[in-house]
C-alpha cells in the first residue's frame, strides 16, 4: 500500500493574488478554484478545486457580446468584472450549466474544470477518451462535428480544406440510428477527403452497425483537401445515421 498519499486534492490551501472573498472564483497558477473562506491579500485559505458553484458570469467573448449556453467553456480573466466570461484569452475555468443572455451578467451554475486546461499544444489521451473534452476541443476550433440522418445524400463537407499544410485527423463516428435494410436499403456512409471519398472508411465499415456503436478512424488529411462524409440515402424503410466528430491537428514537420 502506498505510504505517500496525501489527500484527494479537492480542497487545497491556496494564496490567490490580491486575496478573495468566500465564494469568489480564483485562479492560482494553473488551478481554477472557488475560495471557501475569506482570504486576505498575501494570505492563504482553503479553496475548492472541483464541484458546481453559483458564480457571476457575463455573456461576452473576445469579439464582443456573446450569449452563454449550457455546456459553453468559461474562462477566468483577472482584470474583468465579473472575472468569468467566454473570453478564451483568459484561463479555462469550467463549463456553464445555465444560460446567460448576450452582453448580460447573471449568476449561474458553473462546473469547475479541475485544472486550467492543457498547455499550448498539449492534448492528453484522457481528453480524447472523454467525449465532453473532445467536443470542447472541437468547439475551440480544432475540428468539426455534425450529425447525418438516413436521408443524407451526396458529399458533405465536415471540415474545409486548409491550403498550406497536411493535418492529422482523428475521427470518431457514433451510430445514432441502427443500420438496417428494412424493405429497401440502409444508408451507406463513407469517410474520406476530396478526390478520395473512402480514404478513412468504406461503406462496409458501418454496414449493419448497431445503435451506439463507435468507430475510431485516423489518418493524414492532405493539404488543400476537405474532410468529407459521403452518403447514399436509405431507401424504403431502411435506416442508418451517424454522428461524426473530427479532431484535426497539424502534422509533425
Looking at residue 139, the DSSP 8-state letter turns out to be I
Residue with more model confidence, 79 or 7: 79
Sequence-separated (6 or more) residues with CB below 8 Å from residue 224: 161, 162, 163, 194
pLDDT, position 224: 86
CATH 2.60.120 maps onto the chain at: 125-250
Contact 224, 167 (CB under 8 A): no
pLDDT, position 139: 56
Mean pLDDT for 41-57 is: 93
CATH of 125-250, one of 1.20.1050, 3.30.160, 3.30.70, 2.60.120: 2.60.120
- Mean of the per-residue pLDDT values of the chain: 86
- At 186, the pLDDT band (50, 70, 90 cuts) reads very high
Grid cell 465499415 — which residue? Answer: 205
Sequence-separated (6 or more) residues with CB below 8 Å from residue 131: 245
Contact 75, 140 (CB under 8 A): no
Q: Say what percent of the chain tops pLDDT 70.
A: 85
Cell of residue 88, nine digits: 478564451
Residue with more model confidence, 134 or 91: 91
Residue 220 CA: distances (Å) to CA of 142, 201, 233:
15, 13, 27
- At 152, the pLDDT band (50, 70, 90 cuts) reads very high
Give the predicted TM-score (pTM) of the model.
0.50
Q: What's the farthest any 2 CA atoms get from each other in the chain? A: 73
Q: What is the chain's length?
A: 253
pLDDT, position 120: 42
Amino acid at each position: 500500500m502506498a505510504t505517500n498519499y496525501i489527500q484527494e486534492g479537492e480542497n487545497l490551501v491556496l494564496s490567490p493574488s490580491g486575496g478573495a472573498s468566500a465564494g469568489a472564483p480564483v485562479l492560482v497558477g494553473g488551478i481554477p478554484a472557488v475560495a471557501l473562506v475569506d482570504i486576505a491579500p498575501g494570505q492563504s485559505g482553503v479553496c475548492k478545486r472541483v464541484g458546481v458553484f453559483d458564480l457571476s458570469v457575463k455573456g461576452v467573448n473576445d469579439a464582443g457580446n456573446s450569449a452563454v449556453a449550457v455546456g459553453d467553456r468559461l474562462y477566468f480573466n483577472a482584470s474583468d468584472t465579473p472575472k468569468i466570461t467566454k473570453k478564451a484569452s483568459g484561463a479555462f475555468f469550467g463549463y456553464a450549466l445555465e444560460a446567460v443572455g448576450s452582453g448580460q451578467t447573471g449568476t449561474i451554475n458553473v462546473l469547475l474544470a479541475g485544472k486550467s486546461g492543457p498547455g499550448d499544444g498539449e492534448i492528453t489521451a484522457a481528453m480524447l477518451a472523454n467525449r465532453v473534452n473532445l467536443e470542447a476541443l472541437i468547439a475551440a476550433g480544432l475540428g468539426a462535428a455534425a450529425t447525418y440522418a438516413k436521408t443524407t445524400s451526396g458529399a458533405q463537407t465536415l471540415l474545409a480544406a486548409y491550403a498550406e499544410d497536411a493535418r492529422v485527423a482523428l475521427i470518431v463516428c457514433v451510430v445514432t440510428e441502427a443500420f438496417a435494410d428494412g424493405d429497401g436499403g440502409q444508408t451507406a456512409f463513407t469517410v474520406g477527403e476530396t478526390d478520395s471519398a473512402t480514404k478513412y472508411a468504406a461503406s462496409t465499415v458501418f454496414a449493419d452497425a448497431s445503435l451506439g456503436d463507435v468507430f475510431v478512424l485516423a489518418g493524414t488529411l492532405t493539404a488543400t483537401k476537405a474532410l468529407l462524409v459521403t452518403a447514399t440515402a436509405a431507401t424504403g424503410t431502411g435506416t442508418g445515421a451517424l454522428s461524426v466528430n473530427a479532431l484535426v491537428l497539424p502534422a509533425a514537420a
